[in-house]
Structure 1
Amino acid sequence: MTGKPKVQPRGYHHGDLRNALIIAAAELIEESGSLDFAMIDAARRAGVSSAAPYRHFRDKAALLDAVLEFAFFALSQEMDAVTRNQERGSIEAIVALGQAYIRFVTGHPQFYDLMWGDRDKRFVDDVENELRSSGFYLLVATVEAWCQRSGRDGEDALTLSIKLWAMAHGLSGIAMHGHVERFLPQADVYSLLESSTQTFLEGVRRGA
């Protein structure tokens, strides 16, 4: 994942071990495309004893929970970065967020099931924290600013954001599995998102 901290294989200070194990587990998932690894595999990757992970994680589920938080943090960082050069409340800012979302999902398909799979497989207890860390609330804030700029203060920004999120998520899923090229060989998923977002928001602006 982008922004992944550098991990030294041995000689950790005790406070670094937790992060080193998270990175090790993330690397194992990224390389194998599967969550099917053992705690000892993460320990070996991090260069520590098989007992060391249990100083910070009671079991593999707890380690995966930490990897999940790390993945959502990486996503939120990418989404935050793309808005810094965009005008607040502009359609361009909304499009940039959606494109960053697609870029992250398609760039890290190995984490798709962990981040967006069934709840009992994701080890997440705090939905509010998940939405904040996933960048969703950044999208809501950007949509709220767009509503104000467009004279649509009465619109429900949360509802609009969910629809826009669904659009980006749907395009991410079909792009990740190569279905965009299958049905529209010349299509670009980022251009599709941009045109769909513009059409949708223009309809909202007109009160359609």
Structure 2
Amino acid sequence: MTEGKGTRRKYHHGNLREALVEATLGLIEEKGPLGFTLAEAARVAGVSAAAPYRHFRGRDELIEEVALRGFTMFADRLEAVFNDGKPSTLSAFMATGRAYLAFARENPGYYIAMFESGVSIAGNSELARATERAMGVLRKAAEQLADALPPEKRPPPGMVANHIWALSHGVVELFSRGAPGARAPYSADEMLESGAAIYLRGLGLIR
């Protein structure tokens, strides 16, 4: 089997689960999360069509595994960036936004599985926990930014976290995979940072 797009690692005894995840990442990047079958993932991994059923009940469960790994990596990255000794909460907050965009650029297969495959986060407790870890970084940043305001003027940190998450996701969609934003005279990072600054200033969280 020739190595190429959609073919990352041949199956070796005892490593079936990993081989299927690697094959699925390539297929997601090439065909989208709904553009391939479990049998095709097995073929790319170099195993029989029946082999994946040792670990997964179907393609959707395999994609859930990819999404779980992606959210875990994503949460690890956001936590590391936010806790990396930045001189202020604002700089740490902006660094998490840049990390969000970098993750999407560097890991398109994971990102698509996480956000574009239709996996049910609410229906998978591990996925829900990993997502909450990532959201928790943004919520913590929002809480710290609001500390200087009187309690009655502090916006709900969960709302702020969700708005910044939505803004980040929108920038990814606008600038990724040949989308119109790729032709803009400014970068995705600049778009996110300027949008976040306008939003936070409007809430009185920064001056």
- What is the TM-score when the length of structure 2 is the normalising length? 0.76
Q: Distance in 1 between matches of 2:83 and 2:205?
A: 28
Aligned-pair CA distance for 1:53: 0.7
Does the CA-based 8 Å contact 2:98-2:189 persist in structure 1?
yes
Does the CA-based 8 Å contact 1:64-1:123 persist in structure 2?
no
Match of 2:123 among 118, 121, 126: 126
Q: Deviations over 1:41-73 (max 9, x none)?
A: 222333322221111111112112212212222
- Return the letter of the residue paired with 2:198: T
Does the CA-based 8 Å contact 1:22-1:67 persist in structure 2?
yes
User: What secondary structure sits across from 2:149 in the alignment?
Assistant: coil
Aligned-pair CA distance for 1:8: 5.8
Verify: 1:190 aligned to 2:189, yes or no.
yes
Q: Give the alignment of 1:7-18 within 5 angstroms.
A: 9-13=10-14, 16-18=15-17
Q: Distance in 1 between matches of 2:130 and 2:157?
A: 19
Does the CA-based 8 Å contact 2:21-2:65 persist in structure 1?
yes
- Return the letter of the residue paired with 2:61: A
Equivalence for 2:158: 158
Q: Distance in 1 between matches of 2:136 and 2:30?
A: 31
Aligned-pair CA distance for 1:190: 0.7
Verify: 1:171 aligned to 2:168, yes or no.
no
Structure 1 runs not aligned, ≥5 long: 1-6
How many residues matched?
Answer: 195
CA RMSD of aligned residues (A): 3.0
Q: Distance in 1 between matches of 2:98 and 2:115?
A: 18
Alignment CA distance shift 1:188-1:68 (3 Å): same
Q: Give the alignment of 1:1-208 within 5 angstroms.
A: 9-13=10-14, 16-87=15-86, 90-109=89-108, 114-117=113-116, 121-126=118-123, 130=127, 132-134=129-131, 135-148=134-147, 150-151=148-149, 153=151, 154-176=154-176, 177-182=178-183, 185-205=184-204
Does the CA-based 8 Å contact 2:86-2:92 persist in structure 1?
yes
Range 68-77 or range 94-103, more displaced: 68-77
Structure 2 runs not aligned, ≥5 long: 1-7
Aligned-pair CA distance for 1:123: 4.3
- Return the letter of the residue paired with 2:115: W
- Return the letter of the residue paired with 2:12: G
Aligned-pair CA distance for 1:115: 2.7
Aligned-pair CA distance for 1:40: 2.3
Aligned-pair CA distance for 1:91: 0.9
Q: Deviations over 1:72-123 (max 9, x none)?
A: 22322332332232438611111111122222334445566543347xx324
Aligned-pair CA distance for 1:158: 0.7
Give identity over the alignment, percent. 28
Q: Distance in 2 between matches of 1:127 and 1:11?
A: 29
- What is the TM-score when the length of structure 1 is the normalising length? 0.76
Between 1 and 2, higher relative CO (CA 8 Å, sep ≥ 6) is seen in 1
